[in-house]
Amino acid sequence: MPTSSNMPQTPAPSTAPPLYRRLATHYRGAIEAGSLAPGERMPSLRHLMRLHDISLSTALQLCRTLESDGWAEARDRSGYFVRKPQRLRMTPMDEPPAGQPPDPAQFVGIHARVSNFVTQRRAAEVKVNFSVARAAPHLYPAEALRAGMTRALRHRPELLTGAPPLQGDPQFRSVLAKRAMGAGMTLSPEEVLVTNGCIEALNLALRAVANPGDTIAVESPTFYGLLQVLESLGLRALEIPASPQSGLSVEALELALQAYDGIKAVVVIPHLQNPLGSVMPDAHKERLVRLCESQGIALIEDDTYSELLDVDSAPRAIKSWDRTGNVIHCASLHKILAPGMRLGWISAGRWQARVEMLKYAQTRNNEVLSQIGAGEFMGSGGYDRHLRRLRTALREQRERTTEAIAAYFPAGTRLNLPNGGLQVWVELPNQCPSSAVFDMALREGILVAPGLLFSNTSRCDHYLRINCGWPYDEAVDSALKRLGQIVASLAR
C-alpha cells in the first residue's frame, strides 16, 4: 500500500501538475507494479485525506482521475476498486514477418488517394476531426510567442522590410544547435538551415542525394506526406516493414540491400513513428547508421516527434552516431510548439552546401520574425515547462481515447499503445476496409485518416490513424462510439 512517506510533501512549483494528478500518477505506478491488484479496494476518501493531508475535493479528483484513465472503478456504496484498463487487455499488433524480402520498388502512386481524401474532406461538414496529427490550438503557447514577436518588432521594426539571413536567424539557429546537444548531437549554428517545416527539409534532403528514377527505402507504413514528396520528385519507394514497437526492421533492410541495387537513401522516423507510434531502440539506431555508412547510402532522419515522448530525458538522435556526415537530420516545431509558424530545420552533414544551394534556388530565405519569437521562447525555461504541460495533456487524452476504442470497437480490434505523441494506430478486425469506414463516418461528420494513405500497397487498408490531440469531451466520446458501431457493421 502506498504511504505518505514515499510521496513528496514539499509544495510543487506552479508549473508542476496539480496535486491530485501527481497523486493519481503515484497510485497508477502502484497498480502497474502490482502493489495494488485488480479487484482490490482503493483506500477510502477519508483514508486518502489523512494519508496525504489533502482535502475531500482533492481526494475525489484523485479517484475520479484514476477512474477516467481506466485504472479504477466506482462501485455503488462501496468506494473505488482497482481495475486493469480495457486497452491493456487488447491483443497487441503483430510484428512484421521476418526474413521476407520487400515488395519491388515502384514509382509512388499515392497522390490520387491523398487528393481524393482531401477533396472529400473539404466538401464535408466535419464535426469531429480525428485525421490531423497536431494538438488543439490552446495547448500551444500562443501568448508567449506573440509577446516575443511584439518585443522584437518594437526594437527592430526593420524586420518586416529588410531581407532575412540566408540560413535563418542566427540566434534561432544557435538555440536549435544548443538544444540538439540534449539528443547527443554536436552541431554548430552554421550547420543548421531553417526550412518551411520538416516537409521542405525532407524535400531538400531527397533532392540532394537522389535523382528522378532512383529508389528510396521507407518504413511501411509511413507518413503519407513523405510518399507524396517521393512521387513529386519522380522517385521509387521501396517499402521496408516496420514494427509497431521498434520501428524500421533493420533485418528487412539488409535483405533489401542484397536484393536491390541502386538504393540511394533510407528515410526513417525513429521516435513516435507516424503512424505506428513506435520508438527505435538505440541499438537499432546505431546498427542502421553503420549499415548505411558501409553501403554508401544516405540516411535521412525525420525527428518531428521526439519532444513528445513521455520520458525524462531526450532520446538520442540517429545523427548522434554519425561520424562521417552520412546522416541528414530533419526536424520541425510544427507539432510541438506552433503549427501556424511552419518552422523546421535541417542539418545535412556532407550534403550541407548542396542543400543550402537547393534551398536558395527553391524558396529563398524564410521570414525571420517567427524565428525570433520561437528562439526567444525556446531559450527560456518556459519552453520546457510548455513541453511538460503538453505531454501531460496528450497522455491523458491518449489514454482516454484508447480506453474508448477498447470499449466501443468490436472484438478483434487491436491498437498500439505509444509512449507519447498525438495519435494511435488501430487495426480493424476481419480485414474491415478503412476506406469504407472513412466514407460512412464522413457522411456523419466524423473524419478519420484511413490506413490506405500510409502505404503504396493495400496492406494497410484495414487500419485507421486516430488523433488524440484534442481534449476528450462528450463530442469526441460520441464520435468514437459511433466509429465503433460503423466498424462493427462493416466487419461482420
For residue 6, give the DSSP letter.
G
Number of Cβ within a 10 Å radius of residue 13: 7
Asked whether residue 151 falls in the same domain as residue 231, the answer is yes
Asked whether residue 284 falls in the same domain as residue 325, the answer is yes
Q: Distance between CA 49 and CA 54 in Å, rounded? A: 5
Helices (DSSP H) in 212-316: which residue ranges? 224-232, 250-259, 282-295
What is the pairing mode between strands 298-302 and 263-268? parallel
Asked whether residue 111 falls in the same domain as residue 174, the answer is no
Asked whether residue 248 falls in the same domain as residue 215, the answer is yes
Domain boundary among 84, 108, 127: 84
What is the pairing mode between strands 79-82 and 414-415? unpaired
Domain boundary among 328, 362, 380: 380
Task: Identify whether the C-beta of residue 329 lies closer than 8 Å to the C-beta of residue 317.
Answer: yes
Number of Cβ within a 10 Å radius of residue 137: 12
Number of Cβ within a 10 Å radius of residue 390: 21
Return the exposure string of 72-104: e unless at least 16 CB atoms fall within 10 Å of the residue's CB, then b.
beeeeeebbbbbebebeebeebeebeeeeebbe
Provide the residue range defining the domain that includes 40: 4-84
Asked whether residue 348 falls in the same domain as residue 485, the answer is no
Asked whether residue 155 falls in the same domain as residue 67, the answer is no
Report which of 420, 430, 413, 425 is spatially closest to residue 130, judged by C-alpha positions.
425
Domain boundary among 380, 396, 430: 380
**Partners of 447 in the β-ladder:** 129
Q: Distance between CA 132 and CA 469 in Å, rounded? A: 8
pLDDT number for residue 15 = 54
Q: List CB contacts of 382: < 8 A, sequence separation 6 or more.
A: 141, 144
For residue 378, give the DSSP letter.
H
For residue 289, give the DSSP letter.
H
Task: Identify whether the C-beta of residue 414 lies closer than 8 Å to the C-beta of residue 402.
Answer: no
Report which of 50, 65, 63 is spatially closest to residue 4, judged by C-alpha positions.
50
Asked whether residue 176 falls in the same domain as residue 284, the answer is yes
pLDDT number for residue 68 = 82
Asked whether residue 321 falls in the same domain as residue 391, the answer is no
Q: Distance between CA 194 and CA 33 in Å, rounded? A: 45
Domain count, the chain: 3
Q: Distance between CA 108 and CA 47 in Å, rounded? A: 62
Cell digits of residue 111: 497522390
3-class SS string, 4-43: HHHCCCCCCCCCCCCHHHHHHHHHHHHHHHCCCCCCCECC
CATH of the domain at 56: 1.10.10.10
Q: List CB contacts of 445: < 8 A, sequence separation 6 or more.
A: 124, 125, 126, 127, 128
Asked whether residue 276 falls in the same domain as residue 318, the answer is yes
Asked whether residue 306 falls in the same domain as residue 160, the answer is yes
Cell digits of residue 451: 490506413
Asked whether residue 133 falls in the same domain as residue 185, the answer is no
**Three-state SS at 81:** strand
Per-residue pLDDT of the chain (492 residues; tens, 9 = 90+): 444 434 444 344 445 678 998 999 899 889 888 899 899 999 999 999 999 999 999 999 999 989 888 889 999 888 999 998 888 888 889 898 777 767 777 777 787 888 889 899 999 999 999 999 999 999 999 999 999 999 999 999 999 999 999 999 999 999 999 999 999 999 999 999 999 999 999 999 999 999 999 999 999 999 999 999 999 999 999 999 999 999 999 999 999 999 888 899 999 999 999 999 999 999 999 999 999 999 999 999 999 999 999 998 899 999 999 999 999 999 999 999 999 999 999 999 999 999 999 999 999 999 999 999 999 999 999 999 999 999 999 999 999 999 999 999 999 999 989 999 999 999 999 999 999 999 999 999 999 999 999 998 888 999 999 999 999 999 999 999 999 999 999 998
CATH of the domain at 426: 3.90.1150.10
Question: What is the C-alpha radius of gyration for the chain, rounded to an integer number of angstroms?
Answer: 24
Asked whether residue 206 falls in the same domain as residue 337, the answer is yes
Whether omega before 270 lies within 30 degrees of 0, making that bond cis, reads: no
Helix (H) or strand (E) holding 466: strand 463-467
CATH of the domain at 216: 3.40.640.10
Give residue for cell 488543439.
Answer: 136
